[in-house]
């Protein structure tokens, strides 16, 4: 039973970036109407949100692949290749998103930056295809 609780807690920790991003997307309209932010800071924040969303999709794909490895499910090579290249691109997108959250103005900037740091660390160590 303790093992099951550990698995659930691990799953919840892995889903924290999704929850933080969903909350930020839901509250961004009300924040921009009620605050006096400069237009370029708002555009930078929205760009960072888009980059963070893309990198979170690659992050979820990476952990989906890890789950498939756990249950010995083989994925087609084209899916693995697409996931590998999206992880490489999304590493840079998540680093860009961190900078965008720190400079731009919007709701939940610090939790978003921390969540993207977590995604960046997870994607940085992840490699799907081992090239010979």
Share the mean pLDDT of the chain. 90
- Up-side HSE of residue 121: CA atoms within 13 Å toward CB? 8
- Per-residue pLDDT of 108-128, as tens digits, reads 999 999 999 999 999 998 678
Residues 39 and 36: their CA atoms lie apart, in Å, by: 9
- Under the banding of pLDDT at 50, 70 and 90, the label for residue 22 is very high
The model carries a pTM of 0.88
Q: Domain coordinates of the chain in residue numbers?
A: 2-125
Among residues 46, 75, 56, the alpha carbon closest in space to that of 14 is found at 56
Exposed e or buried b per residue across 77-102, where buried means at least 16 C-beta atoms within 10 angstroms of its C-beta = eeeeeebbebbeebbebbbbbbebbe
């Amino acid at each position: 039973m303790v093992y099951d609780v550990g698995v659930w807690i691990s799953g919840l920790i892995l889903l924290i970036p999704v929850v933080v991003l969903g909350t930020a997307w839901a509250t961004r309209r009300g924040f921009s109407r009620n605050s006096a932010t400069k237009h370029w800071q708002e555009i930078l924040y929205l760009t960072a949100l888009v980059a963070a969303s893309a990198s979170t999709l690659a992050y979820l794909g990476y952990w989906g692949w890890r789950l498939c490895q756990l249950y010995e499910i083989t994925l087609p090579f084209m899916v693995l290749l697409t996931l590998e290249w999206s992880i490489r691109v999304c590493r840079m997108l998540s680093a860009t998103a961190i900078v965008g959250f720190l400079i731009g103005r919007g709701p939940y900037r610090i939790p978003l930056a921390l969540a993207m740091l977590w995604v960046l660390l997870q994607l940085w160590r992840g490699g799907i295809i081992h090239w010979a």
